[in-house]
Structure 1
Amino acid sequence: MIHVVRTMLVPRPMQDAVNYFADFAHAQDWDPATVSCVRLDGGPVEPGARWRNVSRFRGRTSALVYRLDTREADRLVFTGENASVRVTDELRFAPASGDVTRLTYRAAFGFKGIARLAAPFLRREVDRLADDVAAAVPRTTAP
């Protein structure tokens, strides 16, 4: 399993930031690896909501179905899965100053099957993806 943690500042008040990130379709704005992200169901964005996320990783695209598992005033947890990987994204929010929110992003990548053998070699690429997200979030999330 590969774990990454990044902290960044979001130029939005905390409640706005939580609402924005709760709709995982916005990943195509703030995650440079995301090619597309489409909601698979309707209704309110609450635990159980699902999205189909297509991302580019190591030059290849793959699709994961993400589910919102937890939605709290200061915390979101998503799980994305396909045949070769399970990703858990935890986003924690705290007021920083004024209308700025501190976001701590934690992701755990659990590779499945033969992909588990490659996990030690994927660490650098996963770190690069997390760095790209940390760089993109402050400039792409302004209201």
Structure 2
Amino acid sequence: MPTVSRTFVVEAVPGVVVPYLADFGNAEEWDPGTERCVRNDGGPVQVGSSWHNSSKIAGVSTELTYTLEQLSDDRVVLVGRNDTATSTETIEVIADGTGSRITYTNEIEFNGVAKAAAPLSKVVFEKVANDTEKQLTDVLNRLPR
């Protein structure tokens, strides 16, 4: 199961960062692979809210349904599922000076015959994690403080 993780500091405070990241529709702005991310339900974003995500990574298009599975003042866990994979994105946010320290971890579990691709996908997901860290830092630094 490929796992990638990055820790970095942004200028926005946790009280701004956590609600922004909990709304996975915002992935269109910060996730370089996301092409489209649309909420499946309405009302306030809360545990159980879900989104239809269309992504393209290394030229391969995929669609997953993401569900907000955990939400607290310092943690967001979103899980995306389709027939070939489960992607668990855990984002921890703690105060750091006047901003926030973010630890972003993505664990991908492949299903069925897709499991054979797991060892090779680690290199691809490391590159994606680098791109995500840069783009997410840029976007979060533009949020109000």
Distance of 1:15 and 1:39 partners within structure 2: 22
SS in 2 for 1:114: helix
Who is 2:56 aligned against?
56
Amino acid across the alignment from 1:129: V
> What is the CA distance between 1:61 and its match in structure 2?
1.3
Whether the 8 Å contact between 1:14 and 1:101 is mirrored in structure 2 is: yes
C-alpha distance after superposition, 1:68-118 (max 9, x if no partner): 0000110011110011110111100011121x1111011110001111011
Matched positions, count:
142
> Is 1:104 matched with 2:110?
no
After TM superposition, the runs of 4+ consecutive aligned structure 1 residues lying more than 2 A away are none
Whether the 8 Å contact between 1:10 and 1:137 is mirrored in structure 2 is: no
Amino acid across the alignment from 1:135: K
**Same amino acid, percent of matched pairs:** 34
Who is 1:136 aligned against?
135
> What is the CA distance between 1:11 and its match in structure 2?
2.5
Distance of 1:124 and 1:18 partners within structure 2: 28
SS in 2 for 1:62: strand
Matches within 5 A, 1:81-120: 81-98=81-98, 100-120=99-119
**Runs of 5+ in structure 1 lacking a partner?**
none
**Runs of 5+ in structure 2 lacking a partner?**
none
**Structure 1 length-normalised TM:** 0.96
Whether the 8 Å contact between 1:8 and 1:137 is mirrored in structure 2 is: no
